[in-house]
C-alpha cells in the first residue's frame, strides 16, 4: 500500500515536472512581470490573463528591466545587483545567468539581436555580451571621476546600424558605441551635453536620442542621422520662473510618448505633462496633472496618454486625450502604481500595483478594470512585442 502511494506520488511529481516542460505555442501574446522584492519573474499569457510560470533566483530586481530576443523566446533581465539572466519563456527556465557588475541600470539588445549591452553604475561603464550564451564581448569603462570612481552610465538604448547609445551621469557626456565589428568597438564621444543626465530615450524610428538633465533646465538632443552635428539643448526655457518641486522619484524617459508629430513627456519637478512638437522641439502646451509624472505612455494608436506619478501620488493614474489635451479619466488603482504596459495594439493596459500585490488590466476604450492577477510586489511588465521595437 505504502509502495503504491510512493509510486503514485512519484508519478504525480514526474507528471508535474513533465507539465513544467516546454510549452508548444507561439509567444506573441506572452510577457513577463517582475516581482521586484522576491527576485522572481512571472511569465504570463497576456490574452488569457494568467501566469504560466514563476521563475525564481534572479537576485535584486528593484528597477529591473528586460529585452527580448528577435524570436520572442528569450527574455534578458537586467537586475539592480548587476545580474544578467537569460530566460526561456516557453520552458519557464533560466538558461544562463551571470553577475556582470556591482550595480547596474538597464540594458539593450542590438539591432541584429546578437549582442546584449548592460549599463553599470558601479563600476561605471557598459559591458557587451553575446546574446546566445552571455559570453563577454566588450568592456567599455566610462570616464573616471576621480582615482576610485568612474562616471555612472545611464539611458542606454539600442540604435540602428548596430549601435548602442548611452550617457554618463557624473561627467555629462553621450557616447555612441558602434558594435558593427564586435572585436573592434568604435566609440564616438559627445562631451559637455549638459549637467547630470539621468535617463534617456530614443524615438521609435531610432533617429533622435534625448537625455533628461537633472543638473540644469532642458534636455540634450542628438540626431543620430547626423551625429557629427553634436548634441543640442532643447526646452531650455521649460519651467523658468516656476518653482520646481522636489523630485521623489526620477521620471522615466523610456516611455516617452509620441502621438503623431507631438511628444508628451514628464515635466521634471512639476505637476505637468509637456507637449512638444517634434522637429522644432518647442513646447506646445503644458497639461496640469495630479502629481509629478514618472511614466508618460501613449496608447499604441496615439489617441490616449496614460500617466503615473511619483511618491506620494503613486496611487493615481490619469488618462489624457491627445486631441483635446485634457485629462479624461482619473483612476485610483491603489498605492504603488509603478509600471504600465500596453497590449501591442492598445486594447488593454496592464498596471503593476505594488502595495496590493497585483497587476490590474484595464480596457482602454471603456477605461475600466477588467482583470487582476496576483503578483508579489510587481514592478516592470514587458510584453514580447518589444522584440521588434527599437529602444525597447
Partner 1 sequence: MPRTIAVMTALLIAASSAAVAADVPPQRQAELRYLLKHDCGSCHGMRLEGGLGPALTARRLAPYGVDFLALTIIQGRPGTPMPPWRPFISEPEAQWLATQLKQGIRP
Q: Under the rule (CB under 6 A), what is the footprint of ligand HEC?
A: 247-248, 250
Q: Which is nearer to partner 1, 36 or 73 (CB)?
A: 36
Task: Give the burial class of 152: count Cβ atoms within 10 A of its Cβ; 0-12 exposed, 13-18 middle, 19 or more buried.
Answer: buried
Q: Is 267 within 8 Å of 293 (Cβ atoms)?
A: yes
Torsion of CA 283, 289, 295, 300, to 10 degrees: -80
Query: Least distance from C-beta 188 to partner 1, angstroms?
Result: 25
Q: Which is nearer to ligand HEC, 260 or 312 (CB)?
A: 312
Query: Least distance from C-beta 80 to partner 1, angstroms?
Result: 6
Q: Which does 241 bind (CB under 5 to 8 A by kind): partner 1, ligand HEC, none?
A: none
CB atoms within 10 A of CB 1: 5
Q: Which is nearer to partner 1, 35 or 348 (CB)?
A: 35
Among 29, 45, 60, 223, binds partner 1 (CB under 8 A): 60
152 is a site residue for partner 1 (CB under 8 A): yes
337's CB contacts (< 8 A; 6+ apart) are 308, 309, 314, 315, 316, 317, 351, 352, 353, 354
Among 160, 215, 260, 288, binds partner 1 (CB under 8 A): 215
Query: Least distance from C-beta 105 to partner 1, angstroms?
Result: 7
Q: Which is nearer to ligand HEC, 124 or 206 (CB)?
A: 124
62 is a site residue for partner 1 (CB under 8 A): yes
334 is a site residue for partner 1 (CB under 8 A): no
Nearest to 169 by CA among 188, 190, 197: 197
Q: Which does 152 bind (CB under 5 to 8 A by kind): ligand HEC, partner 1, none?
A: partner 1
60's CB contacts (< 8 A; 6+ apart) are 39, 79, 80, 81, 83
190 is a site residue for partner 1 (CB under 8 A): no
Locate all alpha helices (DSSP H) within the chain, ordered by sequence. 2-19
Which uninterrupted H or E stretch holds 48?
none
Q: Which is nearer to partner 1, 148 or 228 (CB)?
A: 148
357 is a site residue for partner 1 (CB under 8 A): no
Residue 53 grid cell: 510560470
Query: Least distance from C-beta 61 to partner 1, angstroms?
Result: 8
368's CB contacts (< 8 A; 6+ apart) are 362
143 is a site residue for partner 1 (CB under 8 A): no
Query: Least distance from C-beta 297 to ligand HEC, angstroms?
Result: 20
DSSP code string of 199-225:
EEEE-TTS-EEEEEESSSSSEEEEETT
Query: Least distance from C-beta 148 to partner 1, angstroms?
Result: 13
Torsion of CA 264, 269, 271, 274, to 10 degrees: -20
Angstrom distance (rounded) from CA 45 to CA 313:
30
Q: Which is nearer to partner 1, 31 or 155 (CB)?
A: 155
- Applying CB under 8 A, the residues found at the interface with partner 1 are 36-37, 60, 62-63, 80-81, 103, 105, 121-122, 152, 154, 169, 196, 198, 214-215, 246-250, 311-312, 336, 354
Amino acid at each position: 500500500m505504502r509502495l503504491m502511494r510512493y509510486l503514485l506520488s512519484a508519478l504525480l511529481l514526474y507528471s508535474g515536472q513533465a507539465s513544467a516542460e516546454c510549452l508548444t505555442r507561439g509567444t506573441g501574446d506572452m510577457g513577463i512581470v517582475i516581482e521586484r522584492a522576491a527576485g522572481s519573474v512571472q511569465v504570463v499569457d497576456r490574452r488569457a490573463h494568467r501566469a504560466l510560470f514563476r521563475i525564481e533566483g534572479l537576485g535584486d530586481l528593484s528597477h529591473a528591466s528586460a529585452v527580448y530576443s528577435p524570436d520572442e523566446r528569450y527574455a534578458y533581465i537586467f537586475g539592480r545587483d548587476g545580474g544578467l539572466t537569460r530566460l526561456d519563456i516557453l520552458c519557464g527556465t533560466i538558461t544562463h545567468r551571470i553577475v556582470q557588475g556591482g550595480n547596474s541600470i538597464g540594458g539593450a539588445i542590438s539591432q541584429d539581436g546578437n549582442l546584449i549591452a548592460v549599463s553599470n553604475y558601479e563600476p561605471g561603464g557598459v559591458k557587451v555580451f553575446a546574446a546566445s550564451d552571455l559570453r563577454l564581448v566588450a568592456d567599455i569603462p566610462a570616464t573616471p571621476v576621480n582615482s576610485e570612481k568612474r562616471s555612472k552610465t545611464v539611458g542606454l538604448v539600442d540604435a540602428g546600424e548596430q549601435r548602442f547609445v548611452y550617457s554618463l551621469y557624473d561627467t555629462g557626456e553621450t557616447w555612441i558605441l558602434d558594435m558593427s565589428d564586435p572585436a573592434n568597438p568604435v566609440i564616438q564621444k559627445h562631451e559637455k551635453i549638459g549637467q547630470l543626465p539621468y535617463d534617456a530615450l530614443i524615438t521609435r524610428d531610432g533617429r533622435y536620442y534625448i537625455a533628461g538633465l537633472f543638473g540644469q533646465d532642458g534636455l540634450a538632443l542628438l540626431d543620430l542621422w547626423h551625429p557629427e552635428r553634436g548634441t543640442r539643448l532643447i526646452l531650455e526655457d521649460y519651467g523658468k520662473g516656476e518653482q520646481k518641486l522636489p523630485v521623489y522619484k526620477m521620471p522615466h524617459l523610456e516611455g516617452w510618448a509620441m502621438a503623431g508629430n507631438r511628444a508628451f513627456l514628464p515635466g521634471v519637478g512639476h505637476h505637468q505633462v509637456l507637449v512638444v512638437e517634434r522637429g522644432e522641439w518647442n513646447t506646445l502646451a503644458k497639461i496640469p496633472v495630479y502629481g509629478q509624472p514618472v511614466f508618460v505612455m501613449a496608447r499604441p494608436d496615439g489617441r490616449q496618454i496614460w500617466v503615473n506619478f511619483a511618491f506620494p501620488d503613486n496611487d493615481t493614474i490619469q488618462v489624457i486625450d491627445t486631441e483635446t489635451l485634457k485629462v479624461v479619466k482619473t483612476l485610483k488603482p491603489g498605492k504603488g502604481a509603478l509600471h504600465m504596459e500596453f497590449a501591442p495594439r492598445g486594447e488593454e493596459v496592464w498596471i503593476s500595483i505594488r502595495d496590493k500585490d497585483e497587476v490590474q488590466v484595464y480596457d482602454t476604450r471603456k477605461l475600466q478594470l477588467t482583470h487582476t492577477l496576483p503578483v508579489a510586489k510587481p514592478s516592470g511588465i514587458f510584453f514580447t512585442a518589444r522584440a521588434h521595437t527599437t529602444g525597447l
